[in-house]
Chains A and B, each alone.
Chain A
C-alpha cells in the first residue's frame, strides 16, 4: 500500500537523476531509479509540469519524488511499503 505525503524535500542529483533526498530531517540515499514519468497539463487552470522519479532508497523503501518544474521545488508524493 502507499501513503500519500506530498511534502517538500531537498534532493541531490547526479547526472540529472536523484541521488539522495532529505526528508523530515533525515537523508536518504537513492539506491535505484525504478521509474520516471512526466505529468503536465491543466493549462486552462493553474498549469502543471512535474517530473516524477520512483526510486528505491537505501533500506528498501520505495518513494515517488517529483520535481515541480513550475515552482522549481521537489516533493515526496508517496511512500510505498
Chain B
C-alpha cells in the first residue's frame, strides 16, 4: 500500500543558510543541491533578517531543477525579548514587502542588530505567508503553557495575515510545528497544535533546518559558540541532538505520522509561493528626461554635442561608429545607464575632484563623447564590442576612478543625488580564511590561546580548506603543545568553515544604479561606515539584473590633485591636465630615462627596465608599454620579439598577410584583445560582437572545438585556403589568452602620461603629492630620496611651518641667482640616465629652487584633532617655546615628545639649548591646556639642563622612529666605513659599467617583487636605494635557498653578484649572495668580517676565473675564489642572461 505520491512529499519551509551568520551551516547552493538529491520539488531559504543568499539560491535551484521559495526569518522585538517569525513570499508584491520589511529591520536601531516590532511586521502582510513557530512570541507562550496569553499575542498576526489576500482565499497564517525529538518535543508539538486549534488557524510542519546532513550538526555548535563568544560546552549549545537537518520526506512524514495534514500543508504552501526572482532579467535605471523624450534620443543629442565640444571631426567613420554604438545601446536598453554615469562623472568634476575612466568602457565612442572616458577610441583603434555586445551574458560595467582622498565625498554625492530608492552601495561578504578561522575556532574549542596563535600565524592567508595541506609543509607546527586529537578537531572544523561568511562589509567601489523599485528588489542595510548598501555582492547584483557603477578611489588622482593645488598655491598657475600637449618631449625624455618613480603604472623596477629597452616616443607607445607589462605578455614572451622588431633587430613578419592590418601597430606581435577580435573579423568575416564572444571562449577547449569548424568554413568560403585558415586559427588560439584589453591600457595611459608630465615639469610639487597620498609601491623614504636626487631640498618638520600634508616651499634667497645657479636636477640624477636637466615649462616661468616641507600628518600617532589644534593655535600667533605649544594645543604627551624628538621644536625662537633640552621640557613640563585649568602657570622646568645635542645619526634615527623616513641624511651614510672596506659600487655608477662583471652593491630595500615570469620559476626583483640612485637586483630561484630569507626580512642589504646590462643605461645585478648590512657592520666591529665571507656557501669563481678576483677588494677574495660547493651546471649557467 504505497502512499499517493503527492502525499508522500514534504517541502522544507524553514532553512537558515550560512548567511544567517554563525547560525546556519550550509550554503544556499548546497541547500538547492541537497533538496534535489532528496527528490524534493521545492525548498525554501529563510535566512535571518536577510535575503543575502537569494540570488545564488535562485541560480542554484534553476541549475538543480528545484523550485526556490524565497523567505526570511524576521527578528521581532517584544517586551519579553527577541522572537522569530518566518515569512515566505507568495508573489512579487510579497517579495517587495519582504525586502522592505528587512530594510526597516536593518535600518532601525543599531547596525548588526536588526529587529522589528510586532506592529511593523504586520504592517506589510500583502503577498506574504507568515509561519509562527516555537521561536515566535505566541509559540513561545504556548510552549510555556500560557495558551491564553499565546492567543492574545497571536491576534495582531491573525488580523494581518489571517484574512484572504487578493484572490487567495486561504489564510496566510500558520503555526509552524517542529519535532526535533528532544525530551520536550512531544509536549511542544501538542501545545503548538492546541494553540492552532484554539485560534482557528492551521498548523504546518517544518524542521528548522540549520545543517543539511546529520553529520554536520557539530558545525552548528561551533557557530553558536563563536556567535556568543563562549567556549564549547554542553550548557552553551542549544541543540541536544542532530535532528535539525534537511530530513528526507518520508522521515518527516514518519515524524508526524499521527498528523499527516501538517506535512500535506507544506506542499500546499509551496504551491502558493509562486514568486520567481527571474535571475538574468535586467532592470534599467530611471533617467528623468524632458517630456516625451526617450533616454536614447537624449543620449544621441549629448553625443553630438560632445563631438563639437571635443572638436572631433564627424567623418563618415566617426558617424557610422556613433550610429552603430547608439543603436546597440538603444536595443539593449542601456541609454539611461550611460546618461546616469555621465551625470555622475560631471557631478564629480563639478566638485573639483579628478575623475578618470578605466576598463573596457574606454572602448566606447559614446563614453568618450559624453565625457565618461577621456580616450578617443577611434584614434586608438579601440572596439566598442569589447565593452558591450548583445552576445555577452554579462551586464556592462563602467569603472570610474576618483581621487582616493575624496572617495567618500563622491559616494555621498551619488547617494544623495540619486536618492534612497534607486541607488545603494554593493556589499562584500568577508569569509573565513585559515588564520581567522583557526583563532576563532581555537577559542571556541577552549584551546590554549598561545598555541592557537602559533598555529594561526604559521598559516599564510590561505583558504581554510587548505589548512591540512599547509600543515604538512610547515615544520614549525611540529613543536606545538597541542595533541593530535586537538589539532585534528581544530582543523576538522576549520576546513569546513572555509567560505562561510564572517561579516558583511562595504564593497570598496560598487554602486547600484537602479530604478525607483530598487527597495522592492533587494533589501538594504547600513554599512559600518553608514552607507546605504544592498544585501547583494557584485555577483548577486549581476544575477539580480541590476546595473552598477564602480567608483574606485585612486591615490594617484589625489596625488595629482595635491600637486595641482600646490602649483596654484606657490606659483599662482592653474594647470589644466586635460589640456596638456600629448607629445611633450620633456615628458618623454623623463619616461625614456625611466626617471619615473611616483608615476602611475610605470614606476616598478620591471617597468623601468622595460621603459629603458622600449624607449617610448609617443602617447600610443604608453598603451603598448602598459599592455606588455602584464603577466600574460610576460609569460608568453611577447616582449622580446616586440622590442626586437621595434628596434629593427628582427624583421617584422606576420603569421599571414591577412593579419597585417590588425597587427601592424605592434609589428606583428599580438598584444591586445582587440587585435584578436580584428583578426577573427578579417579572416572569417564575423561581426565584432561575435568576435568578442569567441575571444572570451578561446580558453575553453570544449568551445574551441565547436568554434573551429565554423571559423574554418567561413574562412574557406571567403577564399582563404583551408591550410592557411587552420594556421591562422592555431596562431590565434596560441595568442588569445595572453593579450590585454587595449581600451583598458589606453584608459590607464591617461593618468600615466599626466603624472609623468607633472613630474617632468613640476617635480617638487608632484613629489609632494606622491608623499602625501602614497599612490605607488615605494615607501616615502625613497620618494624623499628621489626628491633629493632632483635637487629638491627636504625641509625639516617644524611646528610653526609644517602643514598637515607635504607642501612645497620656494627656497628663499636671491631668486635670480638661485635660478641661474641651480639646475632643476642635481648632477647625480644623471645616474638614472636622464640626459641633462629639464627645460622650464615655458620661458616665461623662471626656474626656482623648491623644497618639500615634511608633513605634520607624517608623525606617527598624531590624530586629526591634534593637527587641527596646532593649525588653529598657530593661526592666532606662532608658537614661541615648548610650553607655549603644550599650552595652546591638544597634543598628547607622546605626540609632543615625538615632535620634539624629530626636531619640530628646534626652530622655536624662545627655546634655546639642544634638541635634547627641548625634548626634556616636552617630557616633564606640567602644561595646563588653555581654558582647561585656569590659573596654574606652566611649572618652571628650571634652567635648560644643557643636555648634549643629537648627533646626526641620532637625528636620522629619530626621523625614522617618528616619521618612518630618513629626512636629513641617507640611512646608508652611517655604513660608509663598512661600504668603503667592502668596495661597494654606487648605484649611480652602475649605468657606466660594462656588463658581466662581479661587484657588490648595498642599499636600503625599497621594493621586492615576485611577478609571474615566463619560465615559471620564481624570480625576486629587488630594488636597493643607496642615496646615489637605485640598484636593481634580480634574485633567481637558484640562489634563493640561501638568499630569500635575507631578501624578504632584511631592510638594509648588501648584494654580491654579476652585472647585466638591460638597456641603454639600464643595469641589473644578478644576485649570488645577499647579506644584512647591519649584520656585516656588527661583524666588522667585532673583527669577524672576513669570517662571514669565508663562510659563503657558493660562488661563481670557478667559472669566471682569477680576473674577477683581482677586481674585487681583498675582503671579498674569500668569496671570489672559494671552491664552489654547488654544482654549477645544475643552474643552467646562463640564468643571468
Using a CB–CB distance below 8 Å, which chain A residues touch chain B? 35-44, 52
Q: Which of B185, B218, B232, B239 contacts A37 (CB 8 A)?
A: B185
- B186: interface (CB < 8 Å): yes
Q: Chain B 238-252, CB within 8 Å of chain A: the 1/0 string? A: 011111000000000
CB-CB under 8 A from A44, the residues of chain B are: 221, 232, 445, 489
- Output the nearest chain B residue to A42 by Cβ-Cβ distance: B234
A11 to B217, CA, bound (A): 29
From residue B925, how far is it (CB to closest CB) to chain A in Å?
Answer: 57
- Output the nearest chain B residue to A50 by Cβ-Cβ distance: B241
Contact at B237–A38, with CB atoms within 8 Å? no
Using a CB–CB distance below 8 Å, which chain B residues touch chain A? 181-183, 185-186, 217-218, 221, 232, 234, 237, 239-243, 445, 489
From residue B641, how far is it (CB to closest CB) to chain A in Å?
Answer: 61
A39 to B180, CA, bound (A): 10
Contact at A38–B445, with CB atoms within 8 Å? no
A40 to B239, CA, bound (A): 9
Contact at B183–A52, with CB atoms within 8 Å? yes
CB-CB under 8 A from B221, the residues of chain A are: 41, 43-44
Contact at A40–B242, with CB atoms within 8 Å? yes
Contact at A38–B181, with CB atoms within 8 Å? yes
CB-CB under 8 A from B185, the residues of chain A are: 37
Contact at A35–B234, with CB atoms within 8 Å? no
List 12 extra interface pairs beyond A37-B241, A41-B237, A41-B239, CB under 8 A: A35-B186, A37-B181, A37-B182, A38-B182, A39-B240, A39-B241, A40-B241, A42-B234, A43-B221, A44-B221, A44-B489, A52-B183
- Output the nearest chain A residue to B217 by Cβ-Cβ distance: A40
CB-CB under 8 A from A37, the residues of chain B are: 181-183, 185-186, 240-241
A-B contact pairs, 17 of them (CB 8 A): A35-B186, A36-B181, A37-B183, A37-B186, A37-B241, A38-B181, A39-B241, A40-B240, A40-B241, A41-B221, A41-B240, A41-B241, A42-B234, A43-B218, A44-B232, A44-B445, A44-B489
A59 to B217, CA, bound (A): 40
A37 to B221, CA, bound (A): 19
CB-CB under 8 A from A43, the residues of chain B are: 218, 221
A35 to B185, CA, bound (A): 9
- Output the nearest chain A residue to B231 by Cβ-Cβ distance: A44
A37 to B181, CA, bound (A): 4
A40 to B182, CA, bound (A): 10
CB-CB under 8 A from B182, the residues of chain A are: 37-39
From residue A57, how far is it (CB to closest CB) to chain B in Å?
Answer: 19
From residue B207, how far is it (CB to closest CB) to chain A in Å?
Answer: 14
A76 to B810, CA, bound (A): 94
From residue B388, how far is it (CB to closest CB) to chain A in Å?
Answer: 53
Contact at A38–B234, with CB atoms within 8 Å? no
From residue B222, how far is it (CB to closest CB) to chain A in Å?
Answer: 9
A76 to B503, CA, bound (A): 46
Give the one of B183, B218, B237 with max A CB within 10 A: B183
Contact at B181–A41, with CB atoms within 8 Å? no
From residue A38, how far is it (CB to closest CB) to chain B in Å?
Answer: 4
A38-B489 contact, Cβ under 8 Å, with A43-B218, A44-B232, A52-B183: no
- Output the nearest chain A residue to B445 by Cβ-Cβ distance: A44
Q: Which of A35, A38, A42, A52 contacts B243 (CB 8 A)?
A: A38
CB-CB under 8 A from A41, the residues of chain B are: 217, 221, 234, 237, 239-242
CB-CB under 8 A from B242, the residues of chain A are: 38, 40-41
A9 to B795, CA, bound (A): 90
From residue B1097, how far is it (CB to closest CB) to chain A in Å?
Answer: 48
A37 to B745, CA, bound (A): 66
A17 to B181, CA, bound (A): 15
8 interchain residue pairs of minimum CB distance: A40-B241, A38-B241, A38-B181, A37-B183, A37-B181, A43-B218, A40-B242, A44-B232
A41 to B243, CA, bound (A): 11
CB-CB under 8 A from A36, the residues of chain B are: 181
- Output the nearest chain A residue to B486 by Cβ-Cβ distance: A44
CB-CB under 8 A from B243, the residues of chain A are: 38
- Output the nearest chain A residue to B222 by Cβ-Cβ distance: A44
A67 to B218, CA, bound (A): 21
From residue B244, how far is it (CB to closest CB) to chain A in Å?
Answer: 11
A15 to B903, CA, bound (A): 89
- Output the nearest chain A residue to B492 by Cβ-Cβ distance: A43
- Output the nearest chain B residue to A64 by Cβ-Cβ distance: B183
From residue B478, how far is it (CB to closest CB) to chain A in Å?
Answer: 24
From residue B1055, how far is it (CB to closest CB) to chain A in Å?
Answer: 52
CB-CB under 8 A from A40, the residues of chain B are: 217, 240-242
A36 to B186, CA, bound (A): 8
CB-CB under 8 A from B237, the residues of chain A are: 41
From residue B184, how far is it (CB to closest CB) to chain A in Å?
Answer: 8
A36 to B241, CA, bound (A): 13
A40 to B186, CA, bound (A): 18
A44 to B219, CA, bound (A): 11
From residue B392, how far is it (CB to closest CB) to chain A in Å?
Answer: 49
A42 to B237, CA, bound (A): 9
CB-CB under 8 A from B183, the residues of chain A are: 35, 37, 39, 52
A56 to B217, CA, bound (A): 32
From residue B643, how far is it (CB to closest CB) to chain A in Å?
Answer: 62
CB-CB under 8 A from B234, the residues of chain A are: 41-42
A37 to B183, CA, bound (A): 5
From residue B255, how far is it (CB to closest CB) to chain A in Å?
Answer: 10
From residue A37, how far is it (CB to closest CB) to chain B in Å?
Answer: 5
A39 to B240, CA, bound (A): 5
From residue A29, how far is it (CB to closest CB) to chain B in Å?
Answer: 23
A40 to B216, CA, bound (A): 12
- Output the nearest chain B residue to A52 by Cβ-Cβ distance: B183
From residue B435, how far is it (CB to closest CB) to chain A in Å?
Answer: 21
From residue B211, how far is it (CB to closest CB) to chain A in Å?
Answer: 12
A43 to B232, CA, bound (A): 10
From residue A56, how far is it (CB to closest CB) to chain B in Å?
Answer: 14
A19 to B857, CA, bound (A): 82
From residue A43, how far is it (CB to closest CB) to chain B in Å?
Answer: 5
From residue B488, how far is it (CB to closest CB) to chain A in Å?
Answer: 11
CB-CB under 8 A from A38, the residues of chain B are: 181-182, 240-243
CB-CB under 8 A from A52, the residues of chain B are: 183
From residue A66, how far is it (CB to closest CB) to chain B in Å?
Answer: 11
A39 to B182, CA, bound (A): 7
CB-CB under 8 A from B241, the residues of chain A are: 37-41
From residue A20, how far is it (CB to closest CB) to chain B in Å?
Answer: 23
- Output the nearest chain B residue to A34 by Cβ-Cβ distance: B186
From residue A48, how far is it (CB to closest CB) to chain B in Å?
Answer: 9
A43 to B445, CA, bound (A): 11
- Output the nearest chain A residue to B239 by Cβ-Cβ distance: A41
Give the one of A37, A39, A52 with max B CB within 10 A: A37
CB-CB under 8 A from A35, the residues of chain B are: 183, 186
CB-CB under 8 A from B186, the residues of chain A are: 35, 37
CB-CB under 8 A from B445, the residues of chain A are: 44
From residue B1029, how far is it (CB to closest CB) to chain A in Å?
Answer: 60
CB-CB under 8 A from B217, the residues of chain A are: 40-41
- Output the nearest chain A residue to B182 by Cβ-Cβ distance: A37
From residue B361, how far is it (CB to closest CB) to chain A in Å?
Answer: 53
A43 to B242, CA, bound (A): 11
From residue B440, how far is it (CB to closest CB) to chain A in Å?
Answer: 15
CB-CB under 8 A from B240, the residues of chain A are: 37-41
A18 to B232, CA, bound (A): 34
CB-CB under 8 A from A42, the residues of chain B are: 234
A40 to B242, CA, bound (A): 7
A40 to B217, CA, bound (A): 10
A42 to B218, CA, bound (A): 9
Give the one of A37, A44, A52 with max B CB within 10 A: A44
A38 to B179, CA, bound (A): 11
A74 to B181, CA, bound (A): 19
A72 to B221, CA, bound (A): 25
From residue A42, how far is it (CB to closest CB) to chain B in Å?
Answer: 6
- Output the nearest chain A residue to B233 by Cβ-Cβ distance: A44
CB-CB under 8 A from B239, the residues of chain A are: 41
A23 to B489, CA, bound (A): 38
From residue A13, how far is it (CB to closest CB) to chain B in Å?
Answer: 17
